[in-house]
Chain A
């Protein structure tokens, strides 16, 4: 019986793994870390279901009760809180790792898409969990996010009503979010994760790092899964659990004042992982900020796996030394221009937009977006010209440009936006 169980687990994993794929800096164990965080979330989440009461009248009180009366209540909630936040960060880093080691080419194309869906579900999970404590932060963050959704042309208003279960946040919203957070999203996550892992297995494990001078016909060295990979995975998992426990012990999950629909806090911010979007909203017309730009990004993220590439380079970080140099240039450009754009918008243009007097959708939408697209195209041309690079390398550089730019938007939203969403220094918030 015991042996059968072990062999079931072992069958989910390969018997032998490429020796080169074991190097920690090749994957940083980010996928496995996501799984460990997910398991932590499930185990703490299931416990909290026994205490939490999903209604506007009882939600906040039940959290207080959990914090004050239940043994280990604070610890369980804090572990859940930190695992959730960490999972979002780790899953994004995992996506970056997969992209930057070129692990999205065939036969991993469909797994790239599954991974993107998983990332969306993780964000949805974080967002639906955000409302449940029913404190001021959760109430207003969810208000802002669902209102952002309302700007989607055509279906926005309807979508907003469906998610809220009415005209505004109320008992129907709490039930909706509770059901999504505790049942629907976790089930979908388990299903997609299983598919994700199975596709990794089909592709023969993680992408194998290759030196450019390696002969592709020479087979790589294989070592047994037990103990080589298994021990490494256990070590990473245990260290991660220890880290989350330490953080949870010393930094308790926050709980603010109970939700008060009559008073908005100042500033009112979305959850940190949506602050990049909220920052976009300060610079672009809502239709562009919450619809056009995210749509373009989504299409690009999916499409990137199905472009035809000059070479089938994969396995090495940043592809080639030239790819690495180009990525550094792209990161530098984004690091310089994104803050410049934010500052210019704040202090030079103000709220009137790029063409004072014109309709907002032109002065705040079409014009800045046109400028953005022109800038990206110009950057692409310059890269092509100066590096005479393969399109693998240029696409990678554009990806880095986007990721660094969006990261700066998020950082600005988290640390540099104070009362009335004015630009401030982090210590002035």
Chain B
């Protein structure tokens, strides 16, 4: 009798503990989804869609044009192709300015350098500059700033041509 009582008690207390654990998990899940779902609200300053950069002819060969709003540079390569380069250094996230005289991006924070394709010229940057997708519709260049494309190095498939 005593044994049955004991095992019943331990069974009950085990169930209680499991329920308690479940309650904690539930509360944690509710808290996490509460905090996490804020992200879906479109916030100002973040790229929320497609930005129209302008007609193809506006961008001369071998030039880089900064788009402050979209936080990217539109590079027109020597062969006429387009690349939209994110302005953040791939090392620690500083904003890289385009140095026209040297034809390179130079990071002010740790002196990483990138060429017009966003490829690394000088370390410590570990990867080429991130990209946004570029498409050309009826001679108008459009940049999709909603999604960053990470890449390790430059290759010609990344270029959008007219």
User: Which residues of chain A have a CB within 8 Å of any CB of chain B?
Assistant: 56, 140, 143-144, 146-148, 162, 165-168, 170-172, 175, 261-268, 281-282, 286, 351-352, 360, 419-422
Contact = CB atoms under 8 A, between A and B. Distances in A.
B111 A420 contact: yes
Contacts of A352: 123
B95 A264 contact: yes
Contact of B38 (A56, A165, A360, A421): A165
Interface string B94-130: 1101000000000111110000000000111010000
B71 A172 contact: no
A310 B113 CA distance: 54
Interface stretch (B16-24, B39-47, B135-143): B39-47
Contact of A144 (B36, B46, B109): B109
Given A144-B93, A286-B126, A351-B123, A165 B45 contact: no
Contacts of A143: 92-94
Contacts of A264: 94-95, 107-109
A25 B12 CA distance: 55
Given A286-B126, A420-B110, 13 more contacts: A140-B94, A143-B92, A147-B93, A162-B36, A165-B38, A166-B39, A166-B46, A170-B44, A172-B39, A268-B94, A268-B108, A281-B124, A352-B123
A266 B108 contact: yes
Contacts of A266: 108-109
B6 interface: no
Contacts of A282: 110, 124
Contacts of B38: 165, 172, 175
Contacts of A265: 108
A267 B108 CA distance: 7
Interface residues of B, number: 27
18 contacts: A146-B93, A147-B92, A148-B92, A165-B39, A168-B46, A170-B45, A172-B43, A175-B38, A263-B97, A266-B108, A267-B108, A267-B109, A268-B108, A351-B122, A351-B124, A352-B123, A360-B123, A420-B109
Given A286-B126, A351-B122, A421 B46 contact: no
A114 to B, nearest CB: 21
A356 B148 CA distance: 31
Contacts of B87: 262
B40 to A, nearest CB: 10
Interface of B: 36, 38-39, 43-46, 68, 71, 87-88, 91-95, 97, 107-111, 122-124, 126, 148
B43 A421 contact: no
A146 B93 CA distance: 9
A263 B43 CA distance: 21
A420 B46 CA distance: 28
Contacts of A165: 38-39
A263 B39 contact: no
B90 to A, nearest CB: 9
A262 B95 CA distance: 6
Contacts of A267: 108-109
Nearest to B89: A264
A263 B45 contact: no
B43 A171 contact: yes
A421 B109 contact: yes
B136 to A, nearest CB: 25
Contacts of A146: 93
Nearest to A421: B110
A167 B109 contact: no
Contacts of B95: 261-264
A171 B46 CA distance: 10
A420 B94 contact: no
Nearest to A162: B36
A171 B109 contact: no
B92 A144 contact: yes
B34 to A, nearest CB: 12
Contacts of B36: 162
Contacts of B39: 165-166, 172
Would you list the 8 A-B pairs with minimal beta carbon distance, nearest first? Answer: A266-B108, A264-B94, A147-B93, A420-B111, A351-B123, A268-B109, A147-B92, A143-B93
Contacts of B92: 143-144, 147-148, 268, 281
A128 B92 CA distance: 18
B46 A167 contact: yes
Given A147-B92, A147-B93, A170 B46 contact: yes
A143 B45 CA distance: 16
Nearest to B122: A351
Contacts of A168: 46, 88, 93
Contact of A166 (B43, B108, B109): B43
A168 B94 CA distance: 12
Contact of B45 (A56, A140, A419, A421): A56
A262 B94 contact: no
A171 B123 contact: no
Contacts of B109: 140, 144, 264, 266-268, 420-421
Contacts of B91: 147
A108 to B, nearest CB: 30
Contacts of A261: 45, 71, 95
B146 to A, nearest CB: 10
A265 B110 CA distance: 11
Contacts of A175: 38
A171 B44 contact: yes
